[in-house]
Structure 1
Amino acid sequence: MQGGTSGHVSLGFAFLIIGMWHLFNSIKHHSLHPKTFISLPWFPVPRFKYLEPITIILVTSVFIISELFAGGGRPATAPNNLRHLEHSIIAISFSLYAVFAVLFDRIAAPLPAQRVLLHLLQAAAFAQQLLILHLHSTDHAGVEGQYHWLMQIVTLVTLIATISVAGNPASFLSSFVRGFSVIFQGIWLVVMGFMLWTPEWMPEGCFLKAEAVLCHGDRALRRAKALVNLQFGLYLIALTVCAMVFYLVVIKFYPQEKAEYRSLMTKFDDEEEGD
C-alpha cells in the first residue's frame, strides 16, 4: 500500500470510528433524556473512560511520527517535506484537544465553561484542518483537487456544527450533524486514499504519475471530475440512509423510560442537575 493510501485510509478509519461513537451516544442520550440532553465534547467508555481521547492521542502521534520521517532524512523545510509538516500540524491540533480533554476531567469537575472550552478546542482543530486543506503547499489540481475541494466542504460542515454545539450544547441537531459529518470525513478520506493512489481505479483517460493523477486532455479531466462529484453524491445519499436507519435502531434499543445511559454519563448529568 502506497504512503498516500495508508495515511489517508488509517486516518479515515479513525475519523469513521470516532464519528460513529459520537453519533451513537448523541442519539442514545437524547432518546433517554430528551429534556436534559447535553452534547459532550467526548464520550466516556464503560470500564475504560478515556478510550476516546487516548485513541486520538495515539493515532495522531503515530501519524505525526510517520509524517516527520516521510521525507527520508531531508530537511523539514524542503519543498517536498512542507506537506508533511502541514499534515503534522493538523494532527497536533487534534492531539492537543485530546490531551486537554483528559486533563480537564482529571484536574477539575466538568463545569459548563470547561465543556465549552473543549468544544472550542475541537473547533480549532477542524479550523486548522480546513485551513491546511485550503492553503496546502501541494498544488492540488485536477482530480486530486476535486477530492480535496469536496473534503473542505465536509470539514466546514463539521466546524460549523462543532461551534454550534459549543454555543448550544442542548441542540440534538448540531450534535447529530457533527457526528454525521465526522463519519463522512472518514469515509471520504478512505475513498481518497484508494482512488487517488490505485492505478487500476483511475478514471478512463487518466493515469498515476509520481503520486499525481494526470489526465489526457480537458475532456478526460472534466469526465474524471464529474465522476468524483457523482461519487460524493452517492456516498452522501448512502450515509444519510444509514444514519436514519441507525437512529431508528438506537432509539428502539434505548427508549426514554430506560436509564442505562446514566451509568455512562452520571458525572456529567449530576453536574447539570446541580447548575
Structure 2
Amino acid sequence: MGSLIGHVAPGLGFLVIGLWHLYNNLRLLALKGPSLYKSRPWFPSDRNHGLPRLLELYLIISGCTLAVSMELFISPAKHQPLDSDGTIPSYHLHNFEHSSISLSFIAYALSALALDQWASASHRRIPAQHDVLYFIAALSFAQEFLMFHLHSSDHMGVEGQYHWLLQLVIFVSLSTSILGFGRGNGSFSVAFVRSLSIVFQGVWFVIIGFALWTPGLIPKGCFMHVVDGRTVVGCHGEESLNRAKALVNILFSWILVLLALFAASFYLFIMIVYGNATVKYSAVSEEEDDDEDDIETPKKTYNTCAGTQGFVSNKV
C-alpha cells in the first residue's frame, strides 16, 4: 500500500462499493418509503442486466485477494515477505499490516457469501443474518482503524496528516456499521452516512496516492526521499511542515463540502427517477424483510407520485 498504485487501487474499490451502496439505499427509500425502508449490509445485483447476483461480494474477495498478493508476494524483491530465518523483517511489517486489513474484508465477504448460499440451499430464513454481517463489517472497519492508528511505519509529517484524517472517516464507517445492528438497519440516516463514509474513504485513498507519490503535487518546501526502502515526503523546517499540513486540512474540508453537494444532488436525482414510479413490493414482517434478496417483489403497490403516501392492494 506504500505507493501510488497501492493507495489508488483500494481507493477505487472503496469508491465503487460506496457508490453502489449509496445508489441502492436511495433507491430503496424511493421505492418503499421511509416507513418500510430497511437497508442491507450488501446488495445483490440485478439479474435483468446480466450481472452476477453476488457481484459485490465477488469484487470484494477478488480485490482484497489481489491486494494481499501484491503486499506479500508480488511487491517484495524476493517475492516473499520473510527473512532467511523465517522471521518477519522490520521493513516488511507494514506489508503484513496492510494484508491484515484486506483479510478482514475477505472474511466479511466470505461470511456474507456463505450465509447467502446456505439460505438459498436450505430454502429457509436465517434469523438475524444481517445483524451478524453488520457485526463482521464493524470488525473489519475496526481492524482497518487500528492498523492505521497503530501503524509500524512512522507516519509523521505530511503523510501522517493524511492518515490521521483518514482514520476519522474510517471511524464513521465503523460507528455506522455498529449502529446497523438490530433496528438500526431500518434507519436511512445510518445507511446514508455509512455509504458516504465508504465513498469518502475511496476518494481520500486516491488523493493520498497521487498527493504523496507525484513529485509535481508535493507542497512547496517539501521533498520526496527514501527511508527504509519507502518513499516518503519530508519538509525543510517547521514552517514548511505546518504549511503542508494546513494544505492537507484545507483539501480535506473541500472534499467534505463537495461530497455533501454530491450527496444532495444524487439524492434528488434518485428521488426524481424512482420516486414518481408506481412500484410493487412484498408486504412482509420486519423479520422476513431482513432476508429479502430483491428490492421489489410484486404483491402490493406503493405510490409516491401522489401528494400523500398510500398503500393500494392488488386484490380486486
State TM-score, norm by structure 2.
Answer: 0.81
Amino acid across the alignment from 1:155 = I
Q: Moved runs in structure 1, 4+ residues, more than 3 A?
A: 109-112, 265-271
Unaligned runs of 5+ in 2: 283-290, 300-316
1:133 to 148, 152, 160: 148
2:99 to 88, 96, 99: 88
Partner of 1:227: 247
Percent of counterpart pairs with the same letter? 41
Partner of 2:5: 6
Q: Distance in 1 between matches of 2:17 and 2:280?
A: 21
Partner of 2:76: 71
Per-residue deviation, 1:267: 3.6
1:126-174 CA distance string (max 9 Å, x none): 0000000000000100000000000000000110011111241100000
Relative contact order, CA 8 A, sep 6+: which one is greater? 1
- Contact kept, 8 Å, 1:33 with 1:256, in 2: the verdict is no
Q: Secondary structure of the equivalent of 1:139?
A: coil
Q: Distance in 2 between matches of 1:235 and 1:206?
A: 23
Partner of 1:31: 30
Cα 1:206–1:110 change in 2 (3 A) is farther
Map 1:234-245; keep pairs closer than 5 Å: 234-245=254-265
Amino acid across the alignment from 1:249 = F
1:44-93 CA distance string (max 9 Å, x none): 00121100000000000000000002222251611110000000000000
Partner of 1:148: 163
Larger Rg: 2
1:171 to 178, 187, 202: 187
Per-residue deviation, 1:221: 0.1
- Contact kept, 8 Å, 2:180 with 2:191, in 1: the verdict is yes
State TM-score, norm by structure 1.
Answer: 0.93
Per-residue deviation, 1:268: 5.8
Q: Secondary structure of the equivalent of 2:247?
A: helix
Which structure has the highest helix share of the two? 1
Unaligned runs of 5+ in 1: none
Per-residue deviation, 1:31: 1.3
Q: Distance in 1 between matches of 2:232 and 2:148?
A: 17
Which structure has the highest strand share of the two? 2
- Contact kept, 8 Å, 2:281 with 2:296, in 1: the verdict is no
Partner of 1:182: 198
Cα-Cα RMSD: 2.1
Instruction: Give the number of aligned pairs.
Output: 269
- Contact kept, 8 Å, 1:31 with 1:251, in 2: the verdict is yes
- Contact kept, 8 Å, 2:28 with 2:295, in 1: the verdict is no
Q: Distance in 2 between matches of 1:208 and 1:267?
A: 49
